[in-house]
Amino acid sequence: MAQFSLIKTPAGRRLRIEGELPDGFQGEAQGGAWLCPLDAGNAAALRRHLPWTAPVPVGLRKSVGCGDRLGLATPGHLLAVRAGDMFPVLAQQSIREMTRSRRTPQQVLDDATWGVFEADYRDGFGSDADHLKNTESIDRCIAAGYIGFTLDPGDHVDNAAHTDDPAALQAKYAALPWDALETTPNDLRQRYLGPSLAGAMSEQMLLRAACKYGPALAAAVQLARHIAAGMDGRPYDLEISVDETETPTSPAEHYFIASELLRLGVPFQGLAPRFVGRFEKGVDYIGDLAAFEADFSQHAHIARELGPYKLSIHSGSDKFSIYPIIARHCGEYVHLKTAGTSWVEALRVIAQCEPALFREILAFALDCYPTDRASYHVSAVCERVSYDLDDAGLPGLLDHFDARQALHVTFGSVLDRFREPIYAALSAHEDTYYEVLRQHFNRHIGPFVAPA
């Protein structure tokens, strides 16, 4: 039987196979073994021969999304996952992040496969083709091997409906895409006016919910059915996200969205509303904790009673102040989604081990921030970032609100400029990076561990 291992060579990491070369692998014979590049063909072959290196459906299991902008973080993520009870979703990245980091859906999935193999992690992991907005992106991700998808119809959300006057709402309501929603204005009224899980639904509440989210629901249904056709009967995970909007999702709007998705036969396991307060990138929750808990408890009640389905916490990394609240109200039905925090922790390692390189990265990132911040909800101010630090003080900048957030959202520009030295530094200090990730993700996962 063939024996598999990962080794480092002068040409980079290779898969070493002892014995006969199994079907599907490509490599060079060397000293009674085969050395195989870590390419897409060999990753696909590894998933066939070792099924535990392929993603599986997550379903309603309590889970944590471990986004990895560099493709290096999986072993460190798994060190933390082993100490908790959250199911890991490892191949998670949005098309926006893939574009900025110059990676493809296939590379993201394959990097997770190699990381799982390196860590010898055999307890299963999920995948998440995140924030999908069109069928072309869906097709690329299905072809790459994803079996988890997050649909983002946020471009179709009408934020103005949140404050429109009654006449404007009536006009928008009449013009909704009723055929795509497979209902009529009168039928919708009959379904929702009156008592509900979100309390009594008034005419105005219904009109605002329908006008704000109706076009987005129509888009989500079309994309969800495209996924179902592409998966052709294979099991998969589906999440619907409306978190990247200008206004919060009220409990009544949440109830409307989920109820309509269920009526239209969309098989979702997770929903990401836009919660109250500010979920900015790379930093803790900004807002009143009591107000958050009062609002969040209603969302958790709706998800539990109407589904159950999981509430997905987007931009969920580093929101340490609200994790206990979320865990208390969601129990098992939660998905904590992180993305850029692993990138920022990689920069912490560089600040610690390669301070001269970090100083160059920081200066460049602060120059890029005014442009790169445009597609994010962030509030860092570059002028508050101090340069007047000795080398020992540099890692502490990654705990500073403004520096951390600026470095978080400028990753694409930084990688375009410093890709080779960043990868070289993290390769040279691989064990340090894994340990930093373990400590950082333990802080994320710990509040969600169920009592013994």
Active site residues per annotation: 130, 239
DSSP secondary structure letters along 350-394: HHHH-HHHHHHHHHHHHHHHHHHGGGS-----GGG------GGGG
> Three-class SS of residue 263?
helix
Cα 37 to Cα 17, 19, 146, 291, 434, distances in angstroms:
11, 17, 22, 52, 23
**Angle CA(88)–CA(448)–CA(395) in degrees, nearest 5?**
75
Task: Return the half-sphere exposure (C-beta side, CA atoms, 13 A cut-off) of residue 103.
Answer: 30
Going by their DSSP bridges, the two strands 334-338 and 310-313 should be labelled as parallel
DSSP secondary structure letters along 46-83: HHHHSGGGS----TTS-EEEE--SSS--HHHHHHHHTT
Q: How far is Cα 48 from Cα 54, in angstroms, rounded to an integer?
A: 8
Q: What are phi and psi of 240, to 5 degrees?
A: -115, 130
